[in-house]
C-alpha cells in the first residue's frame, strides 16, 4: 500500500507523545523527554496546521512537522515509529517527506537539524540529498546539546550519488557543498555545486 500523508489528529498526537519510546541513546527523542516538545504536539492549538501523520497500511508509520521562516526556508522535523527504526527504512521515509514539501512549498530551501550523536540519521539525510551546513547548540531535554544543521541540495545533484555505496562526509565551503562518496572499487569522488569529478 502507498503511503498517505494527512494532517495529524489528536489521537495520533497522543499516541506519538505517550507511547513512542526509543531504545538506548535514542530515548533522547521520546516526546516525554522534553516538556515543551510534548506540549506542542499534544496541544491542538500549538500544533496548528504544521504537523502531519504518515500512514501506511492504515497504521501510523511516522510524522513530520514544518515551519517557515522569513529567509525562504522550510524547517522540517520528523520521526518514525520506534519499531520501524534501524531497519533501513529511513531513506524512503525521508524522501517521501522531501517530495511532499517540494510539492507544497515551491522554491523554498529545506533545512533540518539533528543531534550530533545521531550519526545514523545524519547518514540517511546525506543520502537523501542533504549537506551539512553548520552546528548549533539547542536547549532541549533539560540541557544544551549540539545539533548539526543540514540543507537539502537540488534534486539534480542526487543523480551523481547513484552507483556509490556510501557517503563518508559532507560540508559547505562558502556556498558550495562538497560530498565525499565511495563505491566498492574505492574510487572517491567529489560533488561540488552538482558537478562531480574524481579526486583519486
How is the chain split into domains, by residue range? Answer: 4-152, 155-200
Range scoring the smallest mean pLDDT among 39-43, 107-111, 146-150, 194-198: 194-198
Helix (H, G, I), strand (E, B) or coil at 50: coil
Residues 177, 131: contact at Cβ < 8 Å? yes
Q: CA 171 to CA 26: how far, in whole Å?
A: 25
Which pLDDT score, from 0 to 100, does residue 70 have?
Answer: 83
Which pLDDT score, from 0 to 100, does residue 69 have?
Answer: 86
Cell 583519486 identifies what position?
Answer: 200
Please tell me the pTM assigned to this model.
0.79
Section 37-61 average pLDDT:
97
Q: Which CATH superfamily is domain 4-152 in?
A: Gcn5-related N-acetyltransferase (GNAT) (3.40.630.30)
Quick count: other Cβ atoms within 10 Å of Cβ 107?
A: 6
Which pLDDT score, from 0 to 100, does residue 106 have?
Answer: 85
Q: Specify the length of the chain in residues.
A: 200
Amino acid at each position: 500500500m502507498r503511503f498517505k500523508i494527512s494532517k495529524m489528529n489528536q489521537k495520533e498526537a497522543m499516541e506519538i507523545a505517550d507511547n513512542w519510546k526509543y531504545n538506548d541513546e535514542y530515548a533522547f527523542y521520546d516526546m516525554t523527554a522534553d516538556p515543551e516538545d510534548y506540549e506542542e504536539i499534544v496541544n491542538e492549538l500549538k500544533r496548528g496546521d504544521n504537523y502531519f501523520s504518515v500512514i501506511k497500511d492504515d497504521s501510523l508509520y511516522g510524522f513530520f512537522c514544518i515551519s517557515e521562516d522569513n529567509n525562504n526556508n522550510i524547517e522540517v522535523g520528523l520521526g518514525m515509529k520506534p519499531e520501524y527504526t534501524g531497519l533501513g527504512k529511513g531513506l524512503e521515509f525521508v524522501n517521501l517527506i522531501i517530495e511532499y514539501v517540494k510539492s507544497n512549498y515551491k522554491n523554498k530551501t529545506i533545512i533540518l537539524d539533528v543531534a550530533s550523536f545521531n550519526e545514523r540519521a545524519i547518514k540517511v539525510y546525506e543520502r537523501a540529498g542533504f549537506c551539512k551546513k553548520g552546528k548549533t547548540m539547542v536547549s532541549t531535554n533539560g540541557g544544551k546539546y549540539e545539533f548539526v544543521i543540514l540543507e537539502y541540495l537540488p534534486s539534480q545533484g542526487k543523480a551523481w550519488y547513484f552507483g556509490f555505496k556510501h557517503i563518508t562526509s559532507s560540508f559547505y565551503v562558502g556556498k558550495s557543498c562538497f560530498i565525499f562518496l565511495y563505491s566498492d572499487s574505492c574510487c572517491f569522488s567529489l560533488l561540488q555545486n552538482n558537478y562531480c569529478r574524481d579526486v583519486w
